[in-house]
Amino acid sequence: MKRYLFSLIFIALLMAGCNKAKEVLVPSAGPNSLLKETYPLPDTSRKMMDGIYTVKAGSDLFGDQVVIKWSRKKMSVFCSDGHYFVLDVGQLDSVIMIQGYWRYCYNDNTGAVSAYIAREEGGRDIMKADQQTGSIIIRGGYGSSGNEINNSLLFVYQRPIAPAVLSKHFSMLAHRSGGRTSDHLPVSENSIEMINFTEGLGSTGIEIDVQLTSDGIPVLYHDGDINIRLTQKGPISGPINDFTYIQLYYLVRLIHGEHIPRLKDALMFVVDSTLLTDVYLDMKEKVPSVSAVVPIQKEILQRAKDKGRDLHIYIGLPSQDAIDDFMNQPDYLNIPSLCELSTDDVAKVNSMVWAPRWTLGTQDDQVALIHSQGRIAWTWTLDNVNWIQEFINNGHFDGILTNYPFIVGYYHYTREN
């Protein structure tokens, strides 16, 4: 048996080299990085940089205004039309050095970014973390392809993000833990690597797809079968629930080479290594699976509580069959859940979250009803810029599930209240 397994692993490694995902190369300064001699910014200094900035150079591509918002370890820039930046930052003698890349979500356009904040143009104030006495000016350049820097970039601090917006718990949930394989991100959907990457896109929460292996282990995977859309070419194919977890671990690699993760491992990573606040478990399995997930949900929520984390994990109920399965669980009324069906169904199973499709509109009356019951409302999966703007400016949902959390971030953080 061991010899057979090792033979399959060898075949898998050979075949993986024949199936390369279409990649959008992430521009990098490599060994010439300005940051290698710098020091990290303390959290208090990072917060000083958050705000709304006027674009004085680069507006032809990035628009007249951008939002800068720090995540756990990256500085992100959100634009109004789907452009975004993922940036690393360091400081040396109160000069803030910035390097990274920009990307446009609707195609493969990308380029390098290199910039700085001089001491007298905000660097000193940022490092002192005092109340700002002047403006912050970010000077530098960006490239239109590869690692070249051939265009001027100039951002000028305009105002802080409104305190009322920062105090509001509005969830920006990333679809499939950060984005789809078709979005050509540098890591695979539904992977731990994507969960580690997603906060740089502006995500405050994630949606992940849950299925069961043949030996009853919940794993993250979207499609019903092993296929070359999501995985590298290998020795096995067919329904994912035909295989044990060990078979999937050794014989399958996601499109960028990652393992298919167990749900438990993914959620432990969320608790231990991110600042994400919301996890939506999209239950893909058609056979009863909630009983395998509830103990994991309970264990991870206790782990989060022990660590002082304000984390919410909701089991998704997308169908009547899922509700029937859920209601067979002991004490189901006290299991955190999310219902995609009617508001009556939400009340019946005591879901904390109601999550209708965005195509049904802002549904203000129904959202008001949900709020009156002490529950929250999210909508899914919303990717169009104009509709995102409409739902944020004129709707009352408490969160949006999207493949483009940076667009949601722009329209959320530019609100006045």
Total H helices, total E strands in the chain: 14, 19
> What digits encode the pLDDT tens for the residues 197-236?
999 999 999 999 999 999 999 999 999 999 999 999 999 9
What DSSP element (H or E) covers 157? strand 151-159
| Contact yes or no for 38/52 (Cβ under 8 A) | no
Instruction: Give the β-pairing of 238-239 and 225-226.
Output: antiparallel
| Contact yes or no for 266/195 (Cβ under 8 A) | yes
Q: Give the residue, 41 or 22, on which the prediction is more confident.
A: 41
Q: Quote the pLDDT of residue 132.
A: 59
Question: How far apart are alpha carbons 299 and 364 in whole angstroms?
Answer: 36
Give the right CATH number for 166-413 from 3.40.190.10, 3.20.20.190, 3.30.70.1050, 3.90.1150.10: 3.20.20.190
Q: Quote the pLDDT of residue 254.
A: 98
CATH number, domain 33-159: 2.40.128
Tokens of 320: 């009547």
pLDDT band for 9, please (50, 70, 90 cuts).
Answer: very low
Q: Quote the pLDDT of residue 31.
A: 72
Q: What is the mean pLDDT of residues 307-320?
A: 96
The closest of 132, 171, 141, 152 to 50, measured between CA atoms, is 132
**Does residue 17 carry a pLDDT above 50?**
no
Question: How far apart are alpha carbons 402 and 382 in whole angstroms?
Answer: 5
Phi, psi at residue 50, to the nearest 5°?
-65, 140
Q: What is the mean pLDDT of residues 164-179?
A: 96
The domain ranges of the chain are 33-159, 166-413
Q: Quote the pLDDT of residue 73.
A: 87
pLDDT band for 2, please (50, 70, 90 cuts).
Answer: very low
> What digits encode the pLDDT tens for the residues 61-111?
999 999 999 998 899 999 999 999 999 999 999 999 999 999 999 999 999
DSSP lists the bridge partners of residue 68 as: 51, 77
Outline where DSSP puts E strands in 23-133: 51-57, 65-70, 75-78, 83-92, 95-104, 110-117
Q: What is the mean pLDDT of residues 155-177?
A: 96
- What is the share, in percent, of the chain residues with pLDDT greater than 90? 86
Q: Quote the pLDDT of residue 131.
A: 63
Q: Quote the pLDDT of residue 133.
A: 57
Tell me what the pLDDT averaged over the chain comes to. Answer: 92
pLDDT band for 286, please (50, 70, 90 cuts).
Answer: low
Q: Quote the pLDDT of residue 111.
A: 95
